[in-house]
Homo-oligomer: A and B are copies of this chain.
Amino acid sequence: MTSSAAHDVSFLRLTSLPMLLEREIESMILDGRLSEGGRINENQLAATFGVSRGPVREALRSLEALGLVELLPNRGVFIRSLDIAQVVEMYGVRAALFGYAAQLLATRAEPDVIARLRALLDEMGEAAQAHDFDRYYPLNFAFHDFIVERAGNGVLTAQYRGLVKQLRLYRAGNLMTGNTLELSNEEHARIVAAIEGRDAASAYQTSFDHVERGKERLLARSASAGRAEEQSA
């Protein structure tokens, strides 16, 4: 064998067919490329990838544990569909995790972190003023993810991202209307201020509240949508 010594590098295969399939199927689900009624057909899936069903089934088991699909014995695999109650619960947990991330970050708050947060804040501000949701959305995502990532807790990052991933299953439009963008970014500003001020308690609270308010907005929209549905029925 070739080099090793210092850092036993592991040129070893880093991926495998089931892992590859898992990633691919996951993106098919999240991109909505697969939701023909929510059912996933093993044969068909295996055929499109040109592999046998074994590795596909293994990938689906992983996706089940990640909360992206549901496995009903003898019935098949279904893309998990979230009802509003579950989404609300997820938002709560996400609020707690995000709050904790901000709290941790506040105890460090290195200059480059602050700078990056301020930059994102400014960009979001511009997008918000322009009511440009398509520009705001990825910045908003980056802002949250950056705080979590830089909190420096890998377990936290994994849990948070897993939750956000599951949340993507809930397609009801994340559309914020009009000045909601500006309100949202004001909350961001408070978060950054708390982190910059090394105020851990405030960082937690403002961040927690920020996600909770997102939940409220979602609930409000869901309620009115529910009423509309009832009327049309």
CB-defined interface of A6-21 with B at 8 Å, one 1/0 digit per residue?
0000001111101100
Interface size bracket, A side: 35 or more
Task: Please report the C-alpha to C-alpha distance between residue A137 and residue B95 in the assembled complex, in whole angstroms.
Answer: 30
A16 pairs with B153, CB closer than 8 A: no
Q: Which of B13, B19, B90, B155 contacts A74 (CB 8 A)?
A: B13
- Whether A100 contacts B90 in the complex (CB less than 8 A), given A12-B74, A73-B12, A74-B13, comes out as no
A138 touches B (CB below 8 Å)? no
Interface majority SS (helix, strand, loop, mixed), chain A: helix
A214 touches B (CB below 8 Å)? no
A155 pairs with B89, CB closer than 8 A: yes
Give the number of copies in the complex: 2
A159 touches B (CB below 8 Å)? yes
Which of these binds chain B: A62-70, A117-125, A127-135, A139-147? A62-70
Task: Please report the C-alpha to C-alpha distance between residue A73 and residue B92 in the assembled complex, in whole angstroms.
Answer: 36
- Whether A12 contacts B153 in the complex (CB less than 8 A), given A99-B96, A159-B93, A159-B159, comes out as no
A154 pairs with B65, CB closer than 8 A: no
Interface residues of A in 83-125 (CB under 8 A from B): 86, 89-90, 92-93, 95-97, 99-100, 104
**Which residues of A are in contact with B by a Cβ distance under 8 Å?**
1-2, 12-16, 18-19, 37-38, 54, 57-59, 61-62, 64-66, 71-75, 78, 81, 86, 89-90, 92-93, 95-97, 99-100, 104, 153-156, 159, 163
Excluding A62-B64, A96-B100, 18 further A-B contacts by CB distance (< 8 Å) are: A2-B78, A2-B81, A12-B73, A16-B73, A16-B74, A54-B54, A58-B61, A59-B61, A64-B65, A65-B65, A86-B154, A89-B155, A89-B156, A92-B100, A92-B104, A92-B153, A93-B156, A159-B159
